[in-house]
Structure formats: structure tokens, C-alpha cells
Chains A and B, each alone.
Chain A
Amino acid sequence: MTEQTVAEKEEKKGRLEEPTPKLILTSSPHVLGEYSIERIMWSVVLALMPGALAGLYFFGWSALQVIVVCIASALGAEALFQKISGQRMTIRDGSAAVTGLLLALTLPPGSPWWLSVIGGFFAIMICKQLYGGLGYNPFNPAIMARVFLLIAFPLQMTRWPVPHPIFSGIDAKTGATPLGDLQVARLTGKGIGKAVELNLWDAFIGNIGGSIGEVSALALLIGAAYLIYKQYITWHIPLSMIGTVMVFSGIFWMMNPDKYANPLFHLLTGGLIIGAFFMATDMVTCPVTLKGQLIFGFGCGLITVIIRMWGGYPEGVSFAIVLMNIATPLIDMYTRPVRYGAKRVEGAS
């Protein structure tokens, strides 16, 4: 027998015996971690629950209807868009639910139902799906929708009911938010003395005027602690954003306490905490590197404080985050990590 025929026979034998059994072929790695988009998104929903429940407690039915309509609109808009465009249905991944809930928490309690519907549809259709869906949106859809509503429907977006805890039996009255008071005092040129007189405990637990989900710092921090503990977000953006607001407002307050509010006032009123922990940290729209996230948070804090101190709006968190979303690609470009071995070693040839 020649070499060739023996080799061929042996080769054929190998081929005939396979494939027994049928084996799956994929590229490595062959094990995957436990994180998934579903898990992240539904965890964010869970983490927002304390804030939402606080809103329900202080504003009752007027908060509940906004939350329900916002989430329903967001999910409905996503389903509708994907049905029409023939894309894979993704409402189960939780991202639309997060958008709906976040939007609701930034609206005034008792705002009309159609405002929620417009907001939910604008967020999902215009700010998310038109860009290509989750992952491709340059702006956080919920904040973008809030900004849109604020500009388009200023009246409905600034009618703030006074907190009326559900068991208190008090009827809903409208009043102003602490930041609103501050702005009026600031723009009328009077001293801000009375406007910044704030019961810190009330502001901490949420017994103040404001959007549904932003009033209770305590509830928001409980949810935020959960997200950080589970490593769904890191501390970088919240710390640098809040820190920047505190430091800058602190500097001006120390220079002139009659004209500028104190840092604690800035921390506990308005949307700083919900914005810093739940909106600026939106992974799709913030930088990917930790260094970039620190810069991003700094920018968010700076713009917030500038708008609050000198701007035409009482609150600047949403605008700040949207503006910094624009800067995200730039930040990413300039904070690329220095790769291993990039630095030339001394004596290396």
C-alpha cells in the first residue's frame, strides 16, 4: 500500500466517524456574566420605587395618575413604533418603563393626563426610536421630553400643588417650589432671606413642593444606594455633579449670603439628587470611561448652578444634563484610557 492511500484511508475514517455527537461551535469566551439589559433596567425601576412611593404619599392620586399614564404612554409608544416599523419588540427589556417612570417623576403632580401622553410619546418616538432605539439615542429620552414639555407647555409644567399627604385630609392647593421662590426673589432684586428659609427635615423627607419624584431626598438616596451597591451605576457622576453644585454654591453663599442660597438648599430642593443619580448616570448618554464620567458630572453640576443662580429658569438640572449629553462624544474622545504598554520604557530598545 502506498503512503497516500493509507493516509487517505485514515483521514476518511476520521471524517466518517464525525460528527458524533453534534457539538456547538462559537468563539470564546464560553461563559458569560450575569448582567443583562433587562436586569439593569428593571433594577433601575426598582431603585426608583422609594422615590415614586414618596411622591404618592405626599401627592396621592394626583401623582398616581401621572405615573401610570407616563409609563403606559412610553410602553405604548415603543410597542407602536416597533409594530409599525416591523422591528423586534423590546418593551420587555425595561428601558421604556424606565423612561416613562423617570419622566413621570419629573412632572408636577396633578399635571393634565395629555401632558403625560405627549411626554411619553415624545420621549420614545422622537428621542429614542427615531435615533435607532436603545443605545443609539444621544440624549436621555426622559429628560429631553421634560425639557420639551417645559418649553412647550410652561403653564402646565409650573403649577405645583402643596404636599398633602394622603392621610392628612387636606385638599390640594397650589403653591411654589423653593427654587421658584428663590428665582422670584432673585429676579425682583429683593434679598433672598425669606425664600431660602427651608425646613431641612421637610426637604429631606420630601414634604416640599416640586416634581413627583424629586421631593424626597431620603427616598431617592435609598434607591441610589441600591444601584451603587449592585454596581449598576458608579459613584463618579453623582459625586462630581453634586460636589460641583455644593462647592460652587458654597463659594458664592460665603461671599454673599443675602444674594445666594446655601449649598444645602441647593442639594435638597429641585431635581439635583434624582438628576445626579438616575438621569446623568444613564449609561447610553454619558461617557464610558470613569475619568470621562467625572468630567461629565462636573459639567452637569456647573451648568445646574449657573442656571439656578443667574438663569431665566428656576431649575437647571435637566438643561445641564442635556447639554452635557451633547459633550459626551467629545469627552469620550479626550479621555481614552492609556493602553497597557503605550508608554515607552526607559532602556527599552
Chain B
Amino acid sequence: MWTIAGEGIHPIHEKRLTSSVTVGDLRLPGKVVIPLSQHIGAPSEPLVRIGDSVRKYQKIGEAKGFISASVHASISGKVIAIGKFPHPSGNQSHSIVIESDGKDEPMEGLTEHPDYLSLDPKELKDIIVNAGIVGMGGATFPTHVKLNPPKEKKIDTVLLNGAECEPYLTADDRLMVEMPREVVEGMKILMHIMGVKEGHIGIEDDKPGAIEAMRKAASGTGIHISVLEKKYPQGAEKQLIKSILGREVPSGGLPMDIGVVAQNVGTAAAVYNAVRYGIPLIERIVTVTGQGIQRPGNFRVRIGTLLEHVITECGGLVGEPGKILFGGPMMGIAQYTLYVPVLKGTSGILVIPKEDVLLEDFTACIRCGRCVQACPIRLLPNMYSVLAEAGKPKDAEKYYVLDCIECGCCTYVCPSRRPIVHQIRYIKAEMRKAKNKVA
């Protein structure tokens, strides 16, 4: 079994709430808000005007530049607004609002490719670009960028990430259990594009159903199913690569620097659907869960569906909500309004009841070293915390704060309840500010 030796933590699990709930559909939303920026990189540019009628799958935002991704209409209807709307990142983002006509009419003329493995890698990459596919594990890096490494980077391995180490989340688990073929076929396409023979799919050992289904689907393909120890953050890209291949992504570098392309299992399934059926990325599986929601489950949700609609469809809230997160409890982002849309990278919606939210004052660092031992990047989180508190963010630079992946292990284990990740984000923001001033 593969594992990240020594580092990492074993946080609460809580996947039982939804791990055996079959992926269901929500009723069609009355309107969707589709941000032009749902990915790392430049926002896309709108292709439609207010008043236009659009059909499902129609491209409504064109990628602008190489590191960018297109967006597509997830329902049919009329464009009623283009403007700034609340975005799950906490900011406002330029978005296209479509009011549903209730018909969910698909666009005609989608190009199907039954013999997709005979296509040229170039053609396949074009299909992926046009389908607006981005990393669906949460980082939302445009997929085609990862598939186009500079010539001098020799890629020898494709990894699929099915670790899903975040507590509560089961979207990838259910995807692998119910649609293993789509994942494996997507993987074949990715390997074909990269021209590599070695492919691994990493799954944590708390998902026996997914492991079995994937083994069956991958048998005879030469793709390895790598069973990983259940440990957080096993599914962080750098940790996954280290666990399965024993290689470390160089500090400040990318997986392609060590010959690896890593994608989420959901991304692979999206690639398959785009290549085989010509379907762009307009929906994804979302785990809606937590003690604060009436009917937890896994749902196929159209991109742009508002949080409010998802909650209503899941039977509403239980009591008073404390926090509503996009993502899991370790790295998820707390939302301030119910009028934020589900994005391509939204793997989960977690409702934590008010009584479960602990708001404690933090106390002095007692130098216990738990954060140092838990840090999967082997940094010194205690130093960042103390330096941030002392108002010396600059001094953190020599402790390599930029290597921090903000996984939250340090904060989880801190007995003094210090908000270490928050302090690290403060340091990074201050460093960015200083850099911009110089530039």
C-alpha cells in the first residue's frame, strides 16, 4: 500500500452520510449564474448578449489566451443579465445569467467519436479545449494546459487522482463506483494524448467499492489501480505523486517537471464525455452533505446552479446553519450568501450547523511541534504563525512559505487553536503586495 510516510493527519471521516447514496438528479433550476472565471487563468469572454436565446451545451464564453477555459450554457433559455455576481471565492465575478425556458433543449450537431482512440492527439486536445474542461478536484487548472507541456519536458506517466481525502466528500467515490468505465476510457484518452504507457489511478483504502469497480473496469488495460492509505492530504497532487511514484515535484515547479501529468478522476470522465459524445463540461457530481442539511446525497448538478436551489432540493436546512462550505471541511471556502453558483471545481457543499461551529480565541504557541510533524511539505508552520502574529510577514520568506499548499493539517492539530493557515494566507498576501509595489 502506498502512503505519505510520516507526515499528514487522520482527521474526522464523516463520509458515511453520503458514501452509499447513488448519484441523483436535481430538478432543473429556474436560472443559472455562470461565472466567466471558474478556473485558474484569464476569465473567458462572453459570446452572447442579453436577450439572446441559448441552448444547453452552447458555448457562451470563449477562452481568452492559453491559460483560460471556455464556459457553456448548462440549461436552455434566455440570457437575462451579464454582470458581476457573487462568486464562491468570496469575490464578485463577471457572470452570464440564463433564465430557463423549462425545455432543457440541447444544441444540435454535437460531434461524436465512437473510435476516439484513433484520433490524433492534436484533435483530442482541441476537443478538450472546446469543451471547457478544467481540473475538477478543486484547483480548476485548465486541463489542456497540463496536456501541452513544453517540448523539453518528457512525460512518462499519467496519474488519476481518486484519493478524495477530504472528510465528508464522496463525489469521486460515487463516480468511480457508478461510472468506472467513463473514468478508465478518459484515462486511456489522456494516456493516448501524452503518448505514455504508464498510468496509475490512486484511490484511498476507505473506498473498497470504488477500488473493486475500477479494478474491474481497468483490467486488461495496463492501467494500475494504486491503493493508498487513508490519510490526509493523500489526495494533494504533490503527495499523490510522492506516494505512488516516489518522486517529489521540485519546489516551485510543476508535476510536468518530473514527467508526470496528474488529473482528477472527474476530469477524466469529463474528457471521455467530451471526446466520445461531444458534450462540454456543463454538469458535475456534487456531494451535498453535513449535519445541517435535511437530505444529504450525491447529485449531478448543472454548472451555475445557485446554492439556494441545491439546498431547497435537498429538503432544506436543519436548524440554524453555522457555516456553508464549498468543498470539504479542510480546504473548503465558507460562503456568505446562498446566491453563489456551483462551479466546475465544486466537489462538495457542506452545511455545518451553528452549534457545531467552535469560535475560540487562540493562545500562544507552545512550540509542541505537532504542526511541524503534520506538515506534508515538511515546513515550519509554527514559524509562520508566530511571525504573522508579530507583524513580520517578510521574515517568513526564508522559511519557504510559498511552498505551503494550505492543506490545513497544521491548524487541525494545533492545541493552541492558532489559525495558522489563515496567518499563512495573510503572509502570502503581504508578499504579493510588496512584490506588486516593486514591479
Main secondary structure of the interface of B (DSSP, over half): loop
**Which residue of the partner chain, among A11, A23, A133, contacts B85 with CB atoms under 8 Å?**
A11
Verify B251–A348 contact, CB threshold 8 A: no
What mask results when residues 119 to 153 of chain B are scored 1 for a CB within 8 Å of chain A, else 0? Answer: 00000000000000000000000000000000011
A135 at the interface (CB under 8 A from B): yes
B422 at the interface (CB under 8 A from A): yes
**Interchain CA distance A16-B394 in the complex, whole Å:** 41
Interface size on A, residues (CB 8 A): 57
B28 at the interface (CB under 8 A from A): no
B238 at the interface (CB under 8 A from A): yes
B50 at the interface (CB under 8 A from A): yes
A-chain residues with CB within 8 Å of residue B332 when the two chains form the complex = 28, 30
Verify B86–A288 contact, CB threshold 8 A: no
**Interchain CA distance A126-B434 in the complex, whole Å:** 40
Verify B363–A135 contact, CB threshold 8 A: yes
B67 at the interface (CB under 8 A from A): no
Verify A340–B377 contact, CB threshold 8 A: yes
**Interchain CA distance A32-B380 in the complex, whole Å:** 19
New contact pairs (8) apart from A10-B80, A341-B249, CB-CB < 8 Å: A10-B81, A25-B90, A26-B422, A31-B330, A36-B415, A283-B368, A340-B238, A342-B400
What mask results when residues 373 to 415 of chain B are scored 1 for a CB within 8 Å of chain A, else 0? Answer: 1011111101000000000000000001001001010011111
What mask results when residues 27 to 59 of chain A are scored 1 for a CB within 8 Å of chain B, else 0? Answer: 111111101110110000000000000000000
Please list 20 pairs of residues, one from A and one from B, whose beta carbons are closer than 8 Å in the complex, sorted by A's number.
Answer: A7-B81, A8-B83, A11-B85, A21-B317, A23-B321, A27-B421, A29-B411, A30-B332, A30-B357, A32-B412, A135-B365, A283-B366, A283-B367, A283-B369, A284-B366, A290-B373, A337-B375, A341-B250, A341-B252, A345-B258
**Which residue of the partner chain, among B249, B252, B325, B363, contacts A37 with CB atoms under 8 Å?**
B363
**Interchain CA distance A19-B337 in the complex, whole Å:** 6
A-chain residues with CB within 8 Å of residue B378 when the two chains form the complex = 337-340
B288 at the interface (CB under 8 A from A): no
Interface size on B, residues (CB 8 A): 86
B324 at the interface (CB under 8 A from A): yes
**Interchain CA distance A290-B370 in the complex, whole Å:** 10
Query: Which residue of the partner chain B has the closest CB to A27?
Result: B422
A289 at the interface (CB under 8 A from B): yes
**Interchain CA distance A284-B364 in the complex, whole Å:** 10
A-chain residues with CB within 8 Å of residue B65 when the two chains form the complex = none
**Interchain CA distance A287-B369 in the complex, whole Å:** 8
Verify B413–A33 contact, CB threshold 8 A: yes
Of A30, A132, A285, A286, which is in contact with the most chain B CB atoms at under 10 Å from its CB?
A30
B106 at the interface (CB under 8 A from A): no
Verify B368–A339 contact, CB threshold 8 A: no
| CB contact under 8 A between A33 and B412, given known A284-B366, A341-B249 | yes
**Min CB distance, B87 to chain A, in Å?**
11
| CB contact under 8 A between A23 and B329, given known A11-B85, A341-B251, A348-B253 | no
What mask results when residues 400 to 439 of chain B are scored 1 for a CB within 8 Å of chain A, else 0? Answer: 1001001010011111110101100100000000000000
